[in-house]
Amino acid sequence: MKKAIEFLRAIKPRDHVIIVSHNDGDGICSSILMKKFMKKYANIEPEKIISQPMPVEKNLVQRIKSYLPNKLIFLDLAMDQQSSIIMELKKYAKILIIDHHQITKKPAGVVYYNPREKEPNIYRSASYLVYKLCSSLVDMGNFLWFAIVGIVSDYEIKDSMDLIKEAEKKYPEYIKKTDQKSLQKSFFGKISDMINAFKAKRNARPEKIIKIFESTDQPKDLMYSDSAVDLLNAYKEVENELAAIKKDLEKNSETRGKIIFYKLRSGLNLRSAVSTIISEKHLDKLIVVWQEKEGEIKLSARNQDKAIDAASVLQRAVGNGTAGGHKAAAGATLKKEDWPKFKERLIEIVNK
């Protein structure tokens, strides 16, 4: 943590900084917080904020190098699982990685902050970590709500209650109760749903969400801002789509022992939302929601009671594909032709 603070303290107006963040709600909120910090602390803007899936895209190195940065900040991305990218980029820039995923191998030659190094089972979102780090150097109180949206987006709150209690005092009109279910249904939960809804649309760019959010001073402004119309429209569209999917779930889901499989046929990217919906009714099952896209299978997995380590079992089963995440929530991508073998391996691993 000290080295991460030292990295941030050393940011100067002459620096060319690029922020690379995960393209989910937590990654988006953590990048907004980092941008707010840079403006307040050093009166500079990042050269670019680049949103990425996990694992990151193959062209990321060349894309970053084209901006000639001297400092890189990775947020909410398990870059220890893509060490070759870090090895290449550290030749050109100093690197700070702030992450909260399970650690594969700590990257060498960079500043790496992940609380799991000392406490392997702790779960604090990247938004929480960025807010805390930046708050050690400047007053981030006006931006607390971004951290709360990020925490709620990442679903697991038990290790972040200090910030949630702080937000309960600061935003009593939005937070009535601080349990998981109440927060998901709160106004901050709705903002998180709006982010996910916008992301679900084809060709939606997370950078657009960042632009909308960074120009918003208070949470309520999102409901009345002209710039947020796209978010609100996306939210309504996704709510309608989810209502139709819920009707289909009972008929077309497949149970194999401790696993429930569901093939998503929607044109929207709703794997994460649907896997969460199913998991809330089947706490002890591993939920796998999969979708076929352009010759690939993309899937989202959930296990609410964490008796099954979602990230671990996907990684063991995936073979030539890629997988990652947390105990309770994980994802994977594999070739279409590898799906039958992957499915059988997963069934065998989980149902031992």
Residue type, 138: V
CATH of the domain at 59: 3.90.1640.30
Measured CA to CA, the distance from residue 154 to residue 196 in angstroms comes to 11
pLDDT per residue over 142-191, tens digit each? Answer: 999 999 999 998 878 989 999 999 999 999 999 989 888 889 888 898 88
Peptide bond into 69 cis (omega under 30): no
Mean of the per-residue pLDDT values of the chain: 90
List C-alpha distances in Å: 194 to 29, 88, 247, 272: 13, 36, 22, 14
Q: Is residue 244 part of a domain?
A: no
3-state DSSP assignment of residue 334: strand
Only one residue has tokens 């939210």, namely: 235
Residue carrying structure tokens 């996306």? 234
Say how far apart CA 235 and CA 298 lie, in whole Å: 22
Q: Are residues 225 and 258 in the same domain?
A: no
Q: What is the CATH number of the domain that holds 326?
A: 3.10.310.40
- Average pLDDT, stretch 322-336? 87
Token look-up 């709160």 returns 186
Q: Is residue 237 part of a domain?
A: no
Q: Are 187 and 296 found together in one domain?
A: no
Which range marks the domain in which residue 88 is found?
Answer: 2-231
Is 169 a member of any domain?
yes
> What are the tens digits of pLDDT across the range 81-124?
888 999 999 999 999 999 999 888 888 899 999 999 999 989 89
Residues 226 and 267 in one domain: no
- pLDDT of residue 208 exceeding 90: no
Same domain, residue pair 278 and 210: no
In this predicted model, what pLDDT tens digit does every residue of 252-266 receive, in sequence order?
A: 999 999 999 999 998
Domain co-membership, 180 together with 304? no
Whether residue 222 is found in the same domain as residue 271: no
Phi, psi (5° rounding) for residue 26?
Answer: -65, -45
Same structural domain, 124 and 264: no
Same structural domain, 73 and 199? yes
Say how many domains are in the chain: 2
Distance CA 1, CA 241 (A): 42
Residue 288 covered by a domain: yes
Q: Residue 78 in contact with residue 54, Cβ under 8 Å?
A: yes
pLDDT of 68 over the 90 cut? yes
**Domain for residue 30, yes or no?**
yes
Q: Do 15 and 91 fall within a single domain?
A: yes
- Are 196 and 321 found together in one domain? no
Do both 144 and 215 map to the same domain?
yes
Q: Would 208 be classed as within a structural domain?
A: yes
Handedness of CA 188, 51, 328, 198 (dihedral sign): positive
Same domain, 199 and 343: no
| pLDDT at 227 exceeding the cut of 80 | no
Which residues are CB-contacts of 297 (< 8 A; sequence separation ≥ 6)? 290, 291, 333, 334, 335, 336, 338, 339, 342
Structure confidence at residue 180 (pLDDT): 84
Residue 299 located in a structural domain: yes
- Confirm whether 53 is domain-assigned: yes
Rounded-to-integer distance, Cα 271 and Cα 192, Å: 15
Is 74 within 8 Å of 52 (Cβ atoms)? no
